[in-house]
Amino acid sequence: MPRRKPCGGGMAASVQRWFPFDLTPAVDQVIEQVRFTWCLEDPVTAVLPGDSPFWIVRRSRLDAYLAEQAVAVGAELEDGSAVETIERHGNHWRVVSGGNVYTARGLVLADGSSSRFSVPLGLGPARPRFAAAVAVEVEAQVLEPSTARFEFGLVHHGFCWAFPRQGGYSIGVGTFIGREAADADAVLARLLPSLGLSPEAGERFSSPLRVWDGHHALHAPGAVVVGDAASLCDPFLAEGLRPALLSGVRAAEAMDRFLEAGTDSATADAALADYTAAMRREWGESMAWGRRIAQVFYRVPKVGYQLGIKRPTAPQRIAQILSGEMGYGDIAQRVIKRLLFQRG
Ligand SMILES: Cc1cc2nc3c(=O)[nH]c(=O)nc-3n(C[C@H](O)[C@H](O)[C@H](O)COP(=O)(O)OP(=O)(O)OC[C@H]3O[C@@H](n4cnc5c(N)ncnc54)[C@H](O)[C@@H]3O)c2cc1C
């Protein structure tokens, strides 16, 4: 820490409510409006409602800041060494990392989209589904520092984004159906000049991204899984920071009750099962609808853009969904009917 992590860093300010400390030191830019385009044309610009602000964070700063806060209240951070093995011995976990051996009653697995441990430990889906994403950081003068851009027409089965940050842009390309990444270089060669940048600008990093793909147990005896390792990423808009933070908070609460239950194994098991139930209620139910919307939208994106995004109420709805004020379930039936009816 701090470490590099390919990520757009777009995050609804509503995550602040889960934290007992101020997150704004980690905020790079406050977004006040969003612009959607189709093949760089047909723009829809919307001012975000004041009660649903959107932040751009730099992951190197946010992640280090969260780690510092945890250390300040007593966590021990072992930085820079990989966990090699995790094994169950009786009622305990045995974790080997950097030559050290740790034993613990409780385990929170948080090793991201390339998790080696979630499937063998029976946490989350047995066969995770992946989206593909390419991230580019470009240092440049930002034309509109408080406008986030989403472009839907250039990427087959996905979209690209350009988020302003201090001193440049965080740009990316995401593909949500199939594992094949879009031809990101070709997409970027068209997107970057629209921001006044050279078509080849920026170093490119591609990453797999585990996306939500059904309700699964996120707990096992003495263990829970959080974030990308739990396949929580939104399958429509690739939002992964908010569910990672939400699951971290809910997992901590569940682990606290688990440890407090001591030898009362029924209460201890129930505490971890409650974590799976809470994540289903607070996240999974909405994602089930988000997945259905994505399946329809990314197959007929041009229709989706015209009928779903270019509606006067759409930007506000998207802001409300990204802030957690609404779930996809609140809009899904109307959106899907509109798209299917138009296709037929
Ligand atoms: C290109 C791209 C752009 C994105 N943009 C956005 C965005 O704008 N907004 C948004 O909400 N989401 C975005 N996401 C998704 C978001 O980045 C993830 O959902 C989020 O990082 C999940 O956090 P996490 O802590 O679960 O995983 P990670 O942030 O991946 O952290 C996992 C950590 O575990 C460590 N680790 C892995 N294996 C081991 C091991 N064996 N031992 C020790 N440590 C290990 C890794 O080094 C890493 O530090 C984007 C993703 C990509 C790929």
Q: Can you list the positions of beta strands (E) in the chain? A: 10-12, 27-31, 33-38, 41-47, 54-57, 83-89, 92-97, 100-104, 107-109, 129-139, 147-151, 158-165, 168-175, 203-211, 219-220, 223-225
For a mutational test of ligand 1's pocket, the pick from 241, 318, 323, i.e. the residue with the most ligand atoms closer than 8 A to its C-beta, is 241
Given a cut of 50, whether residue 7 has pLDDT beyond it is yes
Whether residue 62 has its Cβ less than 6 Å from ligand 1: no
Q: Which atom of ligand 1 is nearest to the CA of 135?
A: 1
Which of the residue ranges 10-14, 280-284, 318-322 would you say has the lowest mean pLDDT? 318-322
Average pLDDT over residues 19-43: 93
Given a cut of 90, whether residue 50 has pLDDT beyond it is no
Residues in the chain, overall count: 344
* Per-residue pLDDT, 78: 92
* Per-residue pLDDT, 51: 66
Which of the residue ranges 133-142, 231-240, 248-257, 292-301 would you say has the lowest mean pLDDT? 292-301
* Per-residue pLDDT, 344: 42
C-alpha separations of 236 from 5, 35, 240, 253 in Å = 21, 17, 11, 28
Which DSSP category does 233 fall into?
Answer: B
Which of the residue ranges 3-12, 154-163, 175-184, 201-210 would you say has the lowest mean pLDDT? 175-184
Q: What is the pTM of this model?
A: 0.94
Average pLDDT over residues 300-328: 83
Residue of minimum CA distance from atom 51 in ligand 1: 7
What whole-number distance in Å separates Cα of residue 113 and Cα of residue 207? 9
**From the CA of 342, how far away is ligand 1's center (Å)?**
37
Average pLDDT over residues 48-53: 73
pLDDT in tens, 164-222: 999 999 999 998 876 555 689 999 999 999 999 999 999 999 899 999 999 999 999 99
For a mutational test of ligand 1's pocket, the pick from 4, 86, 111, 169, i.e. the residue with the most ligand atoms closer than 8 A to its C-beta, is 111
Which of the residue ranges 50-59, 223-232, 255-264, 266-275 would you say has the lowest mean pLDDT? 50-59
Average pLDDT over residues 139-156: 93
Q: Which of 227, 225, 104, 64 is nearest to 96 (CA)?
A: 104
Average pLDDT for the chain: 91
**From the CA of 165, how far away is ligand 1's center (Å)?**
19
% of the chain surpassing 70 pLDDT: 97
Whether residue 235 has its Cβ less than 6 Å from ligand 1: no
* Per-residue pLDDT, 298: 86
Q: Which atom of ligand 1 is nearest to the CA of 5?
A: 29
Token pair for 124 = 């989350």
Average pLDDT over residues 223-247: 96
What whole-number distance in Å separates Cα of residue 174 and Cα of residue 157? 8
Residue of minimum CA distance from atom 52 in ligand 1: 7
Token pair for 132 = 């593909």
Which of the residue ranges 23-37, 141-155, 175-189 would you say has the lowest mean pLDDT? 175-189
- Which residue type sits at 96? V
What whole-number distance in Å separates Cα of residue 216 and Cα of residue 255? 18
Average pLDDT over residues 224-231: 98
Given a cut of 60, whether residue 36 has pLDDT beyond it is yes
Q: Supply the DSSP string of 199-230, one letter for each residue.
A: TT-SEEEEEEEEE--S----EETTEEE-GGGG
For a mutational test of ligand 1's pocket, the pick from 228, 236, 242, i.e. the residue with the most ligand atoms closer than 8 A to its C-beta, is 228
% of the chain surpassing 90 pLDDT: 71
Whether residue 228 has its Cβ less than 6 Å from ligand 1: yes
**From the CA of 261, how far away is ligand 1's center (Å)?**
31
* Per-residue pLDDT, 178: 62
**From the CA of 315, how far away is ligand 1's center (Å)?**
26
Would you call the peptide bond into 2 cis, given omega within 30 degrees of 0 as the criterion?
Answer: yes
Average pLDDT over residues 275-289: 97
* Per-residue pLDDT, 278: 98
Q: Within 13 Å and on the Cβ side, how many CA atoms surround 96?
A: 6
Q: Within 13 Å and on the Cβ side, how many CA atoms surround 322?
A: 25
